[in-house]
Amino acid sequence: MTTDVTIIGAGLGGLTLARVLHVHGIPATVYEAEASATARTQGGMLDIHEDSGQPALEAAGLTDEFRGLVLEGRQAIRVLDRAGAVLFDKVDDGTGGSPEVLRGELRQMLLDSLPANTVRWGHKVSGTRALGEGRHEVTFADGTTVTTGLLVGADGAWSRVRPLLSDATPEYIGMSSVETYLFDADTRHPAGAKAVGGGSLFALAPGKGFLAHREKGGTLHAYVMLARPRDWFADIDFTDSAAATARIAQEFADWAPELTALIADGDTAPVPRPLFALPVEHRWARVPGVTLLGDAAHLSLPNGEGANLAMYDAAELGKALAAHPDDAETALTEYEQAMFPRSAAAATEGIHVHELFYGDEAPHGLINMFAGGEQTP
């Protein structure tokens, strides 16, 4: 392949694309805004699905390495009501199709699989522009630029590459999460640890709830979910951790103490995370020399598909480019025409899952989904 490949964003999608291209002997350069691989914590647990994330890792030649990262027992699922009563409890018997790994470890595995200097750290994109004939210029915050014949935006919700293709911008979905961690929970937070169990906890009611995952070393990673306007969260001073925690916990005053402890007893400052989505049918006309993958292309309601779809997009794009090394436009067309309906279907399913989590029938619709053997979100 003679066209130079420039990838913006060293998340799971961008790195998977670089790795799949590397497997096929195609070099690529990844530009990432963060200063280093350890500049920030890389999220929590991910369930890697057998019909998306796992095939992507197979295409990257990393299945064995991935299996070495799997945390056994974490596919266990527990659903509680607001009083703390267990409504659904499924153990991890080892037969599930969505093994759990830590996002940070998965990202590091991908980084370790790439040639040195593939990722250029500390390159925050400030703008992009078309130069004609399929070439594009990327400008970084320090004023430097790079010109490329194939530009891939793997730069997430607020992609700086997306405007080359689409005027769409993510919109707030009416719900935010507040994130916190509890460390050494079995010893220091035993009630919360018991409530969460060995894997994932869902304690839900219409418009609100607690999600939590058991990570390594007794760490609980918790998310408090609230359907409130952005202004409601803006009125909370999150620089005052104690006051912010108390205000969020107040919304669950009649919930079981072992559940409210997941926010009230957090060992880290609460972090608000407003949730956004692109239109379900987001797509664009083919523009020579540029495309998108993952959240940059199809940010949707959180439903456990985001990371899996980003990696799957990346693998499919990488394979298409390898199949058409002398005709990148044919590769991009094939990739996008398959990606658009795939992502729209996933976004539609995400809306359905979101309703099961936080709609009027919560949590019973979710229990029915779990009991019916549908894929764990």
The C-alpha atoms of residue 85 and residue 119 are separated, in whole angstroms, by 48
Contact residues for 317 (Cβ-Cβ < 8 A; gap 6+): 17, 20, 152, 291, 293, 331, 332, 335
40 labeled binding residue: yes
74 labeled binding residue: no
Strand partners, 273: 177
The C-alpha atoms of residue 359 and residue 245 are separated, in whole angstroms, by 25
The C-alpha atoms of residue 76 and residue 92 are separated, in whole angstroms, by 4
The C-alpha atoms of residue 258 and residue 263 are separated, in whole angstroms, by 10
The C-alpha atoms of residue 59 and residue 309 are separated, in whole angstroms, by 14
162 labeled binding residue: no
4 labeled binding residue: no
Long-range contacts of 122-126 (CB under 8 A, 24+ apart): 122/32, 122/33, 122/34, 122/35, 122/36, 123/31, 123/32, 123/33, 124/33, 125/8, 125/31, 125/33, 125/155, 125/160, 125/161, 126/160
Q: Which amino acids are annotated as binding site, given as ranges?
A: 40, 47, 103, 295
Q: Which amino acids are annotated as binding site for NADPH, given as ranges?
A: 40
Q: Which amino acids are annotated as binding site for FAD, given as ranges?
A: 47, 103, 295
